Structure 1
Amino acid sequence: MPEGDTIWQAARRLHEALAGRTLTRADLRVPRFATADLTGRAVLDVTPRGKHLLTRLDGGLTLHSHLRMDGAWRVYATGERPRGGPEHQIRAILGNDTYTAYGYRLPVLELIRTTEEAGAVGHLGPDLLGPDWDPEEAVRRLLADPARPLGEALLDQRNLAGIGNVYKSELAFLAAVTPWLPVGELPPDVPPRLVATAHRLLEANKDRPDRRTTTTRRPGTPLHVYGRAGRPCLRCGAAVRKAELGDRISYWCPACQHGPTGDSPDRRPRPD
């Protein structure tokens, strides 16, 4: 799933290809906006907001998209054959004389007034890669529900925007707690440190082609625990484990991280 750093990269690619240029081709392949004609409008900018993309056009319009699990924007030279997937998976085409962007498998695609963007993204918490980043507010929101498992709280974009399943598992490892530990049981120094680490990691990775959370340069070791179930922990050598947390898989090291786990009898369900 795309996370805040990959969305930031996608926004930069789209901005470089489209901003400041007039659309000569525009095709929104969703029933509600299929008749919308955006040709002749200039693209003003493409802005990431958490995991959302806002493509702003002159005339006060914004094309709002969200990639969710497997959506993608691909940019090609105009006239070049797109290779992002089958033709029927294309949901949007935005092109000018130089570049054409194709939106594949976009589960969210809507044309809104720029003045009404808050209706699409106003619910989001502080953006880890945005100008509104506020670590104190992020900590406050993260701890608002003390009984909530850390992993769920980190994934909730209303707390802080930009964290997905990879960073959720990696941040819990770096904080030495399991994703199932209720946030109210975190030591007082951990939430501010965890939020600062999240900001640092996304900032470091937004300009990298491959995401990395470790400092080791050994091949095949860019991440501490995510995707490493059954393999040795890079820190202690214990076998990394995985289990469900909500509708996602979480990874953790049973030796380096303390707290309840997805397959342990001491896991405490969240009260209704």
Structure 2
Amino acid sequence: MPEGDNVYQAARRMNAALAGKRLAASDFRVPAFATLDLSGWTVLEVVSRGKHLLHRLAPPGPDGAAAPGPEGRLSIHSHLSMEGSWQVYAPGERWRKPAHTARAALTTEDGTSAVGFSLGMLEVIATAEEGDAVGHLGPDLLGPDWDPARAEANLRAQPDRAVGLALLDQRNLAGVGNIYRCELCFLARVHPATPVGDVPDLAGMVATAKRLLEANKARSRNTVGGFGPRNGTWVYGRTGQPCLRCRTRVRHGTLAEPVPGTGTRLGDTRERDIYYCPSCQPLR
């Protein structure tokens, strides 16, 4: 699943390509919005909110330009989930992914297009109602609402929960994915199954999360941002390989927790992969 810095980069690419331009065509390949036509609408901006993306658009005014004021504005809200991506194409450029996986395509009057493939979620909502879609998220590690004290308080609200699960809960802090949570636990010398209440320096973990995402938000990430190997990770995806700190072999495991929400069977769980060094990160 893409992490916060990946989604931030996608938003920046699309904002650079689309912001301020009018749409010549829109194509939504989901039943609820298949008949929606946003031709003539102006893309105001594309922003990320944790792992969510928001394309904000203004309707055309009497002169064809973007109507002033917030009334009538719409937002295209999407989530990449496990396999989704948004790609930007120059005029006439062929799509690099199969057309049948496209869920949305936006084309501007100059021929530039942005196409969302295999999106985990896609909806069009009133911009004024974005809070209903993303208001449940905790402070965004790469957003203007970042608040480390609030993020730490959110994590501490469930002291018995495994820190490796709490870090992935976007309601606590938005932007950490599986790669970062495994690396954060390693850097803090904490086993991912350690209860939040037993983490010695939770504030330090939150601060490191911020620094990691900031370090990688403007570049392709195949590193942990100056905190570890030049090209790679400390433990993520390194099952059986020597720990880069102590040479003990890295292990792979899973963490499971009940599936939240309604409509699930009693006892349903969701498993999360973890990677850790048993020597550097002993489970006490």
Which stretches of structure 1, 4 residues or more, deviate above 6 A after TM superposition? 216-219
CA RMSD of aligned residues (A): 1.3
Q: Which residue of 1 aligns with 2:51?
A: 51
Answer whether contact 2:24 2:40 (CA < 8 A) is retained.
yes
- 1:107-118 aligned at under 5 Å gives the runs 107-118=120-131
State whether residues 216 and 225 of structure 2, in contact with CA within 8 Å, keep that contact through their aligned partners in structure 1: no
Please give the alpha-carbon distance, in whole angstroms, between the structure 1 residues aligned to 2:111 and 2:178.
36
Aligned to 1:227: 237
| Corresponding letter in the other structure for 1:169 | C
Please give the secondary structure, in 2, of the residue aligned with 1:155. coil
Letter matched to residue 4 of structure 2? G
- Seq. identity, %: 56
Partner of 2:185: 172
Which of these residues, 175, 181, 184, is aligned with residue 194 of structure 2? 181
Identify the residue that residue 15 of structure 1 maps to in structure 2.
Answer: 15
Which of 209, 213, 216 is equivalent to 2:224? 213
Aligned to 2:248: 238
Q: d(CA) in 1 for partners of 2:215 and 2:169?
A: 22
* Cα distance in 2, alignment partners of residues 114 and 216 from structure 1: 38
Match of 1:26 in 2: 26
- Asked whether the equivalents of residues 216 and 222 of structure 1 are also in contact (C-alpha less than 8 Å), the reply is no
State yes or no: 1:90 paired with 2:102.
yes
What are structure 1's unaligned runs of at least 5 residues? 261-272
Partner of 2:262: none
- Note the C-alpha offset of 1:140: 0.2
Give, as a single letter, the amino acid of the residue that structure 2 aligns with 1:28. Answer: F
- Residue 222 of structure 2 aligns with an amino acid whose one-letter code is R
Within 1, Cα distance between the matches of 2:229 and 2:151? 33
| SS class of match (1:229) | coil
Unpaired runs of 5+ residues, structure 2, are 60-72, 257-270
Paired position in structure 1 for 2:66: none
Q: How far apart in 1 are the matches of 2:50 and 2:229?
A: 31
Amino acid at match of 1:244: T
CA distance in 2, matches of 1:27, 1:100: 11
Deviations 1:8-63 (A, max 9, x none): 00000110111100001210100000000101000000010000000000031000
Deviations 1:167-214 (A, max 9, x none): 010000011011100101112xx1110000000000000011123216
Q: 1:66 to 1:42 in 2, by over 3 A?
A: same
Indicate the SS of the match to 1:172. Answer: helix
Pair 137,216 (structure 1): closer, same or farther in 2 beyond 3 Å: closer
Aligned ranges 1:106-145 → 2 under 5 Å = 106-145=119-158
Amino acid at match of 1:233: C
Deviation at 1:218, TM superposition (A): 6.3
- Structure 1's 214 and 53: CA in aligned 2 closer, same or farther, altered over 3 A? closer
Partner of 1:258: 282
Contact 1:214 1:222 in 2 (8 A): no
Summarize deviations over 1:208-234 as a string: whole Å, max 9, x none.
112321648867x42100000000111
Whether 1:102 aligns to 2:115 is yes
Amino acid at match of 1:211: N
The match for 1:263 is: none
SS across alignment from 2:167? helix
**Higher mean displacement: 209-218 or 194-203:** 209-218
TM value normalised by structure 2: 0.88
How far, CA to CA, are the matches of 2:194 and 2:128 in structure 1? Answer: 40
